[in-house]
């Protein structure tokens, strides 16, 4: 004889559903975290046993030697992208969020601009690289050099920064704005002192993604930056520049063990760079958000 | 008898002397007045035909059911509605005899002179001290060390100083709701407003915090003119000098608070203040 009442049956069904959801969530987590861990472990395991510190202090000799030229080159490229794409992307995001609101201007220039940036972010990077090669390196006679590389990479990552900035600004609570307006703060002052400060974590995340992409891209750089074993020079054009991803890719395709070690080293250094970026950005966010509403 | 006469004479003398010192003495008695004010959003009328004067240094309570237009009226006075695209107004609101929409009226200065406190405490995401002086900084009223003085003065004024003096650098969100609202009040007072608009300032607070806000309201007048929207009829009765009753987009009745509550002229006022209509 059954003693399970209808209400108990419902409870059991709910439990089963809940368990299914939990396992699905766990599976997704493993699906995301697993490959990332695998990647990190493989790189570390392959690079560390053959690690020599002079990789950091000597330049490359093609399939052997160090990576100093590539490390400095990647740092220069990331810094350049931070300046160019960071400025343009954040300003564009502020524009989308504050000035181009559809409800304010009716038709909104914002819609066109926003669509344009979304199209831009969907472009294959190698196509952008080729455009940069034809238009800048050949068309403007800049040759393989830093400036076309920076412009093309910035073009690629501006949408990420703009989007992140826009959504971060939109999430700033209305009551902060109302409070600021009621005190007679000007819109610009409110934006600088209240809105941007509160939106900073989101903006930093966008910039972080942009910099990681800039550091990790290969295809557009092959077309624009060229490659060189020399250290980066002060010239923006006419001088090719080295970068880590080139060595990760090229030396892995070489037959010698020595070349493979260079490839693993380059990958490890890139990983460490991204890690340092992550930690730095978390520190910046923690320092500036210590008075935020969530941090009681 | 003589004694009373002489003390009355002395009181008159003191009054005269005080009014001579009073910076407001030569200003219009009515700090704010509205003339034939009609308010609407997107063609939908919210409030029609409001003619009202707010005497300097008094507390006026705005009461009425939800949707009666009292909050819209309040937010019109410091032009918070102006940014709503579909908002339209006819008639005029005057501050010290000058239209708040006049061409020589600077919006930021207007909002410095007419402060506002909201229903939910809304401290900024910055330290407690920086919150108090946020407006002072924006208007460049004081700087550097003076800001510390401003912060202390205003925090003392709202009775928060002892509770926060050792943690001025802390996040304001660690304070209780009532303390946060007092902090917002200190922030509003710091820019030296002449009028303070309170939009249900205690509806999110516990009874003790409510009491301290009400005591402060009494203490701030007559230096300040206060207009307060409240759903708490007891509060309107306790703190206000005048009461305005809004119903269905009209100012039905206004007058001395005692009269509105004890001898209302209109039937709807009577029903509302006696709890027969919510």
Q: With 60 as the cut, is the pLDDT of residue A296 above it?
A: no
Chain B residue with CA closest to A180: the answer is: B135
User: What pLDDT does A107 receive?
Assistant: 52
Q: With 70 as the cut, is the pLDDT of residue A295 above it?
A: no
Which of B107, B120, B125 comes nearest A291 by C-beta?
B125
Chain A residue with CA closest to B180: the answer is: A293
* Interface residue A193 vs chain B (CB under 8 A): yes
d(CA B62, CA B244): 5
d(CA B34, CA B119): 24
* Interface residue A198 vs chain B (CB under 8 A): yes
The answer to the question of residue B214 being in a domain is: yes
Q: With 70 as the cut, is the pLDDT of residue A166 above it?
A: yes
Task: Please indicate whether, in this complex, the C-beta atoms of A193 and B134 are within 8 angstroms of each other.
Answer: yes
What is the second-level CATH architecture of the domain A55-288? Orthogonal Bundle (1.10)
d(CA B23, CA A231): 73
* Interface residue B42 vs chain A (CB under 8 A): no
Task: Please indicate whether, in this complex, the C-beta atoms of B126 and A185 are within 8 angstroms of each other.
Answer: no
The upper half-sphere exposure of residue A18, i.e. CA atoms within 13 Å in the direction of its Cβ, equals 6
d(CA A117, CA A159): 5
Which of A184, A291, A295 comes nearest B108 by C-beta?
A184
Most A CBs within 10 Å, among B74, B121, B124, B171, to test the A interface? B124
Q: With 60 as the cut, is the pLDDT of residue A239 above it?
A: yes
* Interface residue A2 vs chain B (CB under 8 A): no
How close B142 gets to chain A, by Cα (Å)? 15
B 111-130 near A (Cβ less than 8 A)? 111-112, 115-116, 118, 120, 122-127, 130
Which of B85, B115, B127 comes nearest A291 by C-beta?
B127
**Segments forming the whole domain that contains residue B242:** 27-121+196-273
| Cα-based distances in Å from B140 to B109, B136, B137, B147 | 12, 6, 5, 10
User: What pLDDT does A11 receive?
Assistant: 86
Number of domains chain B contains:
1
Residues of B whose CB is below 8 A from A173: 122
Which of A104, A189, A290 comes nearest B138 by C-beta?
A189
How close A296 gets to chain B, by Cα (Å)? 5
User: What pLDDT does A75 receive?
Assistant: 92
Residues of A whose CB is below 8 A from B188: 182-183
DSSP assignment of B222-242, as one string? TTSEEEEE-S-HHHHHHH-SE
User: What pLDDT does A64 receive?
Assistant: 78
Most B CBs within 10 Å, among A103, A178, A181, A182, to test the B interface? A182
Section A149-157 average pLDDT: 91
- Beta bridge partner(s), residue A68: none
Can you say how many angstroms the Cα of residue A231 is from the centroid of all Cα atoms in its chain?
A: 25
Locate the domains of chain A by residue range. 6-50, 55-288
What does each of the 278 residues of chain B score in pLDDT, given as a tens digit? Answer: 455 567 788 888 888 777 777 666 667 788 899 999 999 998 889 999 899 999 999 999 999 998 888 999 999 999 999 888 889 999 999 998 889 998 888 999 999 999 999 999 999 999 999 999 999 999 888 888 889 999 999 999 888 899 998 999 999 999 998 899 999 999 999 999 999 999 999 988 888 889 989 999 999 888 899 999 999 999 999 999 999 999 988 899 999 999 999 999 999 999 999 887 76
Task: Please indicate whether, in this complex, the C-beta atoms of B122 and A179 are within 8 angstroms of each other.
Answer: yes
Section A209-218 average pLDDT: 88
Could you write out the three-class secondary structure of A35-67?
Answer: HHHHHHHHHHHHHHHHCCHHHCCCCECCCCECC
Q: Name the one residue in this structure whose structure tokens are 């990077």.
A: A125
The answer to the question of residue B205 being in a domain is: yes
The DSSP letter of residue A139 is I
* Interface residue B75 vs chain A (CB under 8 A): no
Which of B78, B124, B130 comes nearest A176 by C-beta?
B124
The answer to the question of residue B206 being in a domain is: yes
CATH of the domain at B230: 3.40.50.300
Residue A254: which pLDDT band, with cuts at 50, 70 and 90? confident
The DSSP letter of residue A90 is H
d(CA A246, CA A221): 9
- DSSP E strands in chain B: the ranges are 30-41, 44-55, 59-63, 87-95, 98-99, 114-117, 195-199, 225-229, 242-247, 250-256
Task: Please indicate whether, in this complex, the C-beta atoms of B171 and A292 are within 8 angstroms of each other.
Answer: yes
How close B115 gets to chain A, by Cα (Å)? 6
Can you say how many angstroms the Cα of residue A192 is from the centroid of all Cα atoms in its chain?
A: 24
Return the exposure string of A136-169: e unless at least 16 CB atoms fall within 10 Å of the residue's CB, then b. Answer: bbeeeebbbbbbbbbbbbbbbbbbbbbbbbbbbb
Residues of B whose CB is below 8 A from A176: 122, 124-125
Mean pLDDT, rounded, of chain A: 87
d(CA B173, CA B88): 36
Residues of A whose CB is below 8 A from B150: none
Chain A residue with CA closest to B119: the answer is: A175
- Beta bridge partner(s), residue B38: B90
Q: Name the one residue in this structure whose structure tokens are 């030229």.
A: A69
How close B72 gets to chain A, by Cα (Å)? 14
Counting one residue from A and one from B, how many pairs have CB atoms under 8 Å apart? Answer: 85
The answer to the question of residue B166 being in a domain is: no
SS3 category, B133: helix
For CA atoms B254, B259, B264, B265, give the dihedral sign: negative
Task: Please indicate whether, in this complex, the C-beta atoms of A175 and B122 are within 8 angstroms of each other.
Answer: yes
* Interface residue A38 vs chain B (CB under 8 A): no
Q: Name the one residue in this structure whose structure tokens are 């005591």.
A: B215
d(CA B157, CA B240): 20
Chain A residue with CA closest to B130: the answer is: A291
* Interface residue A104 vs chain B (CB under 8 A): yes
* Interface residue A292 vs chain B (CB under 8 A): yes
Judge whether B150 and B186 are in contact, CB under 8 Å.
Answer: no
Judged by average pLDDT, the poorest of A129-138, A226-235, B245-254 is: A226-235
B 11-40 near A (Cβ less than 8 A)? none
Pairing of strands B195-199, B114-117: parallel
The answer to the question of residue B152 being in a domain is: no
């Amino acid at each position: 004889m059954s003693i399970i009442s209808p209400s108990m049956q419902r409870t059991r069904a709910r439990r089963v559903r809940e368990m299914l959801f939990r396992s699905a969530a766990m599976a997704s987590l493993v699906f995301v975290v697993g490959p990332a861990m695998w990647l990190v472990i493989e790189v570390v395991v392959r690079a560390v046993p053959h690690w020599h510190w002079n990789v950091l202090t000597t330049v490359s000799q093609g399939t052997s030697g160090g990576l100093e030229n590539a490390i400095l080159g990647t740092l220069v490229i990331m810094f350049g992208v931070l300046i160019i794409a960071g400025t343009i992307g954040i300003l564009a995001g502020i524009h989308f969020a504050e000035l181009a609101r559809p409800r304010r201007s009716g038709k909104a220039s914002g819609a066109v601009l926003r669509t344009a940036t979304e199209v831009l972010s969907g472009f294959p990077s190698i196509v952008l690289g080729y455009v940069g090669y034809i238009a800048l390196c050949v068309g403007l006679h800049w040759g393989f050099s830093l400036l076309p590389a920076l412009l093309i990479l910035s073009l690629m990552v501006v949408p990420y920064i703009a989007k992140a900035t826009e959504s971060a600004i939109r999430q700033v609570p209305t009551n902060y704005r109302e409070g600021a307006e009621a005190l007679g703060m000007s819109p610009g002052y409110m934006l600088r002192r209240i809105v941007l400060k509160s939106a900073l974590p989101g903006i930093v995340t966008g910039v972080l993604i942009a910099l990681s992409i800039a550091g990790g891209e290969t295809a557009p750089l092959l077309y624009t930056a060229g490659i060189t074993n020399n250290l980066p020079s002060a010239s923006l054009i006419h001088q090719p520049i080295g970068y880590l991803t080139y060595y990760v890719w090229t030396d892995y395709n070489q037959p010698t063990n020595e070349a493979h070690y260079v490839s693993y080293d380059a990958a490890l250094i890139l990983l460490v760079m991204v890690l340092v970026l992550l930690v730095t950005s978390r520190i910046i966010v923690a320092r500036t958000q210590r008075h935020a509403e969530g941090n009681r | 008898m003589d004694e009373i006469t002489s003390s009355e004479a002395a009181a008159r003398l003191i009054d005269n002397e005080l009014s001579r010192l009073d910076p407001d003495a030569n200003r219009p008695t009515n700090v704010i007045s509205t003339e034939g004010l009609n308010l609407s959003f997107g063609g939908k009328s919210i409030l029609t035909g409001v003619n009202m004067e707010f005497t300097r240094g008094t507390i006026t309570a705005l009461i009425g059911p939800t949707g009666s237009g009292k909050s819209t009226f309040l937010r019109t006075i410091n032009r918070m509605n102006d940014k709503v695209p579909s908002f339209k107004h006819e008639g005029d609101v005057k501050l010290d005899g000058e239209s708040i929409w006049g061409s020589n009226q600077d919006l930021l200065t207007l909002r410095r002179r007419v402060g506002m406190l909201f229903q939910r405490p809304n401290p900024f995401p910055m330290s407690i001290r920086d919150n108090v002086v946020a407006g002072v900084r924006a208007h460049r009223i004081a700087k550097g060390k003076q800001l510390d003085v401003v912060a202390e003065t205003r925090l003392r004024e709202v009775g928060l100083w002892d509770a926060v003096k050792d943690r001025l650098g802390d996040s304001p969100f660690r304070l209780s709701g009532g303390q946060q609202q007092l902090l917002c009040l200190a922030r509003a007072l710091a820019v030296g407003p002449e009028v303070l608009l309170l939009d249900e300032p205690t509806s999110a607070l516990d009874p003790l915090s409510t009491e301290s806000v009400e005591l402060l309201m009494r203490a701030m007048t007559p230096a300040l003119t206060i207009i307060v929207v409240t759903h708490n009829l007891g509060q309107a009765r306790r703190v206000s000098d005048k009461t305005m009753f809004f119903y269905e987009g009209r100012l039905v009745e206004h007058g001395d608070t005692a009269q509105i509550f004890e001898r209302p002229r209109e039937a709807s006022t009577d029903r509302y203040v006696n709890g027969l209509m919510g």
